[in-house]
Structures are given as structure tokens and as C-alpha cells.
Structure 1
Amino acid sequence: MSKAGINEAGINGAGVNETGINATRISRAARRGAVPLAVGAAALALLAGAQPSSARPVAWGAAWAASPQLPATGFTPNWSQEGFSRQSVRQVVRVTEGGDQVRIRLSNAYGTSPLTLTGATVAKAGRGADVRPGSVRELTFGGRRSVSIPAHGELRSDAARLGLDRLDSVTVTLYFAGTTGPATFHAQGFADTYRAEGDHRADPSGRAFAATSRSWYYLSGVEVGGAARRDGVALFGDSITDGFGSTPGADRRYSDALAERTGRPVVNAGIGGNLVLNDSAWYGERSAARFGRDVLDQPGVSTVVVLEGVNDIGFSEAQKGPNPQPTYKPAPVVSSAQLIDGYRELIRQAHGKGLKVVGATLLPLKGSDHWGAHAARVSDQVNDWIRTSGAFDAVVDFDKALASKTDPDRLAAAYDSGDALHPNDAGYRVMAEALAGVL
């Protein structure tokens, strides 16, 4: 297994486990720097304030993140397989830490050829695809406006001067003058992303951005310079961490609620459908393979919360049902001992980087398509181990916090989004409250 990583200043290759996914393999040979490209177009007159990174040390902190995935059709329409050509992509995200500088992290982790980014901007968000006039900052990469990101590579932009407060929404606009091919993306953004024909990266108005999607493309992180705190929290997991069941466009995931409640920087490293033990063409690399890239490489993070395993347990149960999901693959029958070995590997990696690890019990799942006799037995065994083993530095008991009082194997009705598996907004708030008490 190779580890993914990018250095503080710029660019490196991104690693995928040795088995690969659907013949997409990230080779060690790809661990070379991306080559900035000169751009012949005149400077954009409307842009203000972009600066290369200062020579003096700057404390950087991760303020927002999304875990990259292979291009796929997914459960909802998205643009990942078609990619982009002579189009601008505008994405709005909420940062959980403030600072006086900002930079972005881009991923071509699952691209099979170099990705040419013609240019990018960052701005304070307005309404919808609008941005606040006067806040647009041009982003550079090694001092150049355009950059080529190697296949399977990642990079960070230079710093741009833009003062942000905690919980501000920022807008990142990417322009691709050429054809990208299939796009590395994050499937379940639960927020609108906007697309326009032509170059509209400097537009304060969002009028040109007529098409929308609820996925994120290439953008895998926003970091702030001059961050006041170094106690960031990374939430690592599957669709529950990702926010499935929360109100779209409202920032009501449990990561959002935790940032609001604690004031700490929080980054979300969830992927819907993700598995502890196996890679999936739809749901990302197995947990240990992506943990370095999605958690350990995040600057300013001191704690990681691990909430994962329900799909390893439940996919095999779902395949027995009347309507098996074609994407619930691989779906081997998994034992609690196998899952515990997977958790121990995550703990080992995190402790190796000096991070505190909080173990989260699996939520009740009776009544969902993941439920069955095997799932009931293994989830109980896993939760007992999480509570009593002492392997984690702390434990948050989501199972008890969200369980029905009359049937503890079920989510309480007040917290159920409707599928007996994923919480609703109220359930995610309860999760944040429970976690805040053990951080």
C-alpha cells in the first residue's frame, strides 16, 4: 500500500492502495511535481489581491475538506464522467476556521491524464452563485495562473490575501479552457455546484452559471493562513459522516453542528458507502488506504473521529433483500474480528502522526436494508469492543445517544431521516452534542 500526500508548499503524487480500483492505479512514478504553465492571456482586470505565499512562516489550518472519489454515475446525476470543456465550475463551501489568507487544495487523484487548469479564483460567497463584489482573488500556483496537475496528483495553490471569519462561506471558481476528461469528484456534496459555458471565474454575478449539480469537482480542501487554533477535528467515515439525510444546502451535517457547537475547526472526511475493509468503484478506497490523504495530511488537525463499519456489515444483508443495490459491492460477509483489525490499523496510523483517536459506536440500524441477523450480531460485538477495549483514546456512544427507548436496535423516530439508517438534522445535532462532550 502506498500513502497519499502533498507537501505544504505545493505538489506531489497521490497514492492509491496496491490493489487499485477498476484498473485505476496511482503509481509511485506519479509522485513528481506538477508543472506550472504560462498563460498568454492578459491579466483579469477585475481581480484583486492574490499573492504568492509569504517567505515568513504561516500557520495553516484545514478549514474545509471533501474526500476525492473515482468518477461514477452514483445515485444522483453528476458531471464526473463527462468532465468539463471550455467551462467554469463554481463551488461554495463553508469554512470552519478564520484567517487572513486562503489557499485551496485540488485533486486529480483519479485522472488518467494531466489536468490543465486555466485559472481559478476565490471569493466571499454571496447568494447562490453570486460572490461579494470586491472580494474576488485570483489564485496562482507557483506564481502562475495556469497549472497542469499530473494524473493521480494533487496540489495546493499559493496563498491569497482574503480575510475570512469562522463559518464564512467561500466560493471557488475553476476554469478549464481545454477538455478535462472524467473528473475526480466528491459525489455527495449536499450543496449546489454551478457550471457556466466560457470563462466566468472573475464574475461577481452568478447569472452565467445556469447548470447545477450536488457534487464537488476537483476541490478537496480549503485552508486558511494565520489560523488561531491548532486543535482541528477530522471526522472520518461513511454516508453518516458525509451528511446523508441532512437538509441539502443548509449545512446541517454533524460536522457542521460540531463546528458550530465547539468553535473548533472541523473537516469532513466522509464518503457515502465507504468500507473499512474493501475498495469500491462507487464508494472510494478502503479506509486504511485513504486515511493518510484524507486525514493525516490535513494541517492543524489534532483529533480524528472514526465512525465506519456499517456498510461492511450491511452490504451483504442488503444483497439478500428483494431490491439489492447494484452498487453495494463488494459485499462479503464480514466478521467483527476483521473490522476490529481494520480499526486497529487506523489507530496505528493516527497515533504515528500524534493524533488523538475517538472511536464512535455504530448507530442503530434495525429496519434498514442493512439489517439482518448477522448485522445485529456483528454490530453488537463491534460496539462492545469500541466501548470496552481501551484501544481508542476516547469513545463517543452514538448508538445509545440515537437509539429508540422502546427498541434500542432502532434509531429513535425523532432522529430518523426515513430509511432507518441515516439521521436527520435533529439526529446530527445530537451526534455533535455527544461528541463535543468527549473531545
Structure 2
Amino acid sequence: MRLLRALVAGLFLLVAVVTAQAAPAAGPGWTAVWATSPQKPSKTMGPSWSTEGFTNHTLRQVIRVSQGGAATRVRLTNRYGAEPLAIAGATIAVTESGANIRPDTLRPLTFGAASEFRIPAGADLTTDPVLLPVAPFQSLTITLHLAAPTGPATHHAQALATSYRATGDHRADAAGVAFTETTQSWYYLSGVEVFDLLPRRSGVIAFGDSITEGIGSTSGTDNRYPDELAERLAAQGNPRAVIDQGIGGNRVTVDSSWLGDSAQRRFRTDVLDQPGAGTVIILAGINDIGLSAAGAGAADTVVPVSTEQLIAGHLDLIRQARTKGLRVIGATLTPIHGSPYYSPAAEATRQAFNEWIRTAGAYDAVVDFDAALRDPADPQRFAPHFDSGDHIHPSDAGYTAMAAAVNPADFGS
């Protein structure tokens, strides 16, 4: 069986190299097994290299896939770049530890069989497939050599994972000793896909804000709720790719230069364009509520949003999902009492919106994250052991409880 998979993947690799395209089209058998939502260059969410970009640097980034496959390809993005992005060379390998890789798994990443390639400003690109079989929950290291100045870099600000930088060309280094600089963001990555002989539209996309992104969980441990959900499904004998498309501070209705394009605007690229996806879980709106009033955030982020506007935004997301045949699960908004977002007016909006989620019948199914995390003695607050300490983001235990609250039967087939 292993030999058969390798032969089929090799045949597909030969065809794909000849027919490679810049668009992230879903070829037969390709399934997204990891993704992140690109953001504009910004230092507002914390220290990063996004505004300065890279010159004569090698960038090494570690991700963990949620499902395995016989061959692999990588989606790169220059979505918010002002100029074409020159990739002087790139590799992929199985991670050993930190910035170290397993040398026997090192593979070059190419585009149109070329080791050097350019990504136009505003565009994404999918590399040629490589014969690198991966196992579920395996960590992969993607290394980019950026010789020419890149300018400000498209990135994902809060990766909750360590990325590494070295000066010069170290794309093929097995040891990570040259990678002496680190950050907690991802750069130019938007997804990883695998090829399988028996593809099915079973992938689940978790879409939302910092709670989906995993803020409050322990960095570097893959304890975000989508990670926990993928592990739970695999343990139950129902393995599926689970993709995390959360952005900290993101809103349903409002675009931001540093909190991401609105959920409505980014839904197509971050959800509808993901190959192999069959279901999306939407947990979004707490930032629309919390940033509706002065005092909850920086002055340039405050935009009043009503319950009716929030509901209209969700109805638009549902409509978009159904145009691509996706099942849509709506999630209730989790507690905020004790956080800067809390006020009696904000709480009233949260309760009204949650009531709509639970009773309107707009979604195919509902997951009640509010009920899973709230304190029975004080329902406006997190249960203490589910609170990361800031009273708005769950702890590791809270994210595990969120994953447990999702009913796999709601995914359909």
C-alpha cells in the first residue's frame, strides 16, 4: 500500500510540475491540512519583522499539519506586498526540534520546476508538489531564502509558534545554529496541502478571531481549540483536517490595517478557497461588540456595530459558505465580564446575538461555546479554570473544553 501511494503521488507530481499554476486551485486529491490567515504588515500586535521585511535572510518556519498524505505542496502569499516577492530558494523538511530539521527529509520547493521564482504583488502561489509523505500531526519546517530586499512582509501576526531567521543562505542547513533570531509570527505562508488517493470534502475550517487563533493557550504547544478538535476527532477514529483561520482582533463587519480584513471580506480566500473543506465553524463578533465603544481599544479601532449589523454580517457569511456547498456551524460568543470589553450594553448585545445564534435556525448547526465555558455561578464570566487570566481568552483547559463541545455529527458525512 505504501509503495502504491508513492507511485501514484510520483505520477501526480510529474503532471503537476508541468501544469503548475499561480492560483491555489484545488486539484484532484488535494486537501488543505494547515493554513493561516494573512495580514497586512504591522507591528501593532507585537514585535515582528513584517514592517522591515527581509534582505539576504533565510526564514525558517515550523507548522503542524492536522492530517497526513502522500505528497505535499505549499501555498505562499504576497497578498499585501507592494512589489513582487523574489524567492531565491525554498525547502521543506520534517522538523527535528526548534530550527533543526531531519536531513533525510529535506526537499527543494519549486514553482514550474524552477528553484527561484517571484510572487506578484497582491497574489498567492502554490509550489510544485514534492514527494514528502507526512503523517497526521507531524511538524514541518518551511525555509525561504530571501536574497533581495522584500519590503514590508505579508504575515500572520500571532502565530503562537516560533519562527527563525538567519543571515545569508541557510535553506539546506540541517542544524539550526545559524538561526539566531526568533519571532512569534509567520511570514509569506498561507497553507500546506497534501495529496491523498481517497480525497473527500471532510475538512473543517475554524473561522474567527483571537479565540479561534488560540490566544491564551501556551505558545508552541498546539493547544488552540482547532488543534484540540483535530486530535479529538483522530482519537475517535474520525480523522479530519482542521484548519485554523483566526485573526486576533478581527471583526465581522469592519476592516482594519492591523486587525485584518473583515470576516466578510476575507471569507472567500480564507474559507471558500481551501481545498477539501466541507464544514466551517464561525465564531466571530466579540470584537465588533467590544470595539463599539471608546475605552475598549485604540481610538482608530472604535467603530459602533449594532446587533442587527452583526446578524446581517453573519447572514452574509452563511450565504457565502452555501454558494460553495459548505455546511455552516454557528458558535455562540464566550463571556467577557471582567475584561476591557465588558459593559452592560456590550453584555446585552452579546446575549441578544447568542440568542439569535441559538434560536434563529440560520445555521445548519450550533456549537454553544458560551455554555461550555461560562461559570454556572456567574454566567457572564468564564469558569475560573477556563480563564487564561484576561477574562476574554480561554486557557489551555478552556480550549480543550471548546473542542469537546463540538458535535462531530454536525459535520455531515
Same fold (TM over 0.5): yes
The structure 2 residue matched to 1:217, chosen from 187, 200, 206, is 187
Residue 10 (structure 1) aligns with: 21
Counterparts of 1:357-372 in structure 2, within 5 Å, are 357-372=328-343
**Aligned with 2:270: secondary structure?**
helix
Q: Cα distance 1:337–1:112, how it changes in 2: closer, same or farther (>3 A)?
A: same
1:300 counterpart letter in structure 2: G
Matched, 1:336 2:303: no
CA distance in 2 between partners of 1:105 and 1:227 (Å): 21
Q: Would you tell me which structure has more helix in proportion to its own residues?
A: 2
Cα shift at 1:110: 0.4
1:296 aligns with 2:272: yes
Question: Any gaps of 5 or more consecutive residues in structure 1?
Answer: 1-7, 14-52
SS at match of 1:161: coil
Query: Which amino acid is the alignment partner of residue 395 of structure 2?
Result: N
Which residues of structure 2 form unaligned runs of 5+?
1-18, 234-238
Match of 1:48 in 2: none
Query: Which of 181, 187, 190 matches 2:160?
Result: 190
Q: Does residue 430 in structure 1 map to residue 401 in structure 2?
A: yes
| Equivalent position of 1:69 in the other structure | 39
SS at match of 2:190: strand
Deviation at 1:133, TM superposition (A): 1.9
Q: Residue 321 of structure 2 aligns to which amino acid in structure 1?
A: A
Equivalent residue number for residue 32 of structure 1: none
Q: Which letter does structure 1 place at the counterpart of 2:272?
A: L
- Tell me if the contact between 2:23 and 2:126 (Cα under 8 Å) persists in the aligned partners: no
* 2:347 paired residue number: 376
How many angstroms does 1:316 deviate by?
2.9
Instruction: Provide the secondary structure at the position in 1 that maps to 2:333.
Output: coil
d(CA) in 1 for partners of 2:230 and 2:132? 21
Equivalence map 1:108-119=2 (5 Å)? 108-119=78-89
Which amino acid is 2:268 matched to? G
Give 2:136's aligned residue.
Answer: 166
| Corresponding position of 1:404 | 375
Q: What SS does the aligned partner of 1:252 have? A: coil
Greater than 2 Å deviation, 4+ residue runs: 227-230, 436-439
Aligned residues of 2:367 and 2:407 also touching (Cα < 8 A): no
CA distance in 1, matches of 2:396, 2:328: 25
* 1:256 lines up with 2:267 in the alignment: no
Q: Deviations over 1:118-171 (max 9, x none)?
A: 111000001100001211000110111111111101010000000101100000
The equivalent of 2:291 in structure 1 is 315
Note if 1:106 corresponds to 2:84.
no
Cα distance between partner residues in 2 of 1:238 and 1:181: 27
Structure 1 CA distance, aligned partners of 2:404 and 2:187?
31
**Aligned pair 1:284/2:260, yes or no?**
yes
Alignment of 1:233-248 (within 5 A): 233-248=204-219
Q: Deviations over 1:7-66 (max 9, x none)?
A: x942149xxxxxxxxxxxxxxxxxxxxxxxxxxxxxxxxxxxxxxx9xxx7400001001
Select 2:251's aligned residue among 242, 267, 275: 275
Deviation at 1:227, TM superposition (A): 6.2
Aligned to 2:318: 347
Aligned residues: 386
TM-score by structure 1 length?
0.86
- Matched residue type, 1:87: H
Kept after mapping to 2: 8 A contact 1:98/1:228? no
CA contact (8 A) 1:103 1:158 kept: yes
AA partner of residue 67 (structure 1): S
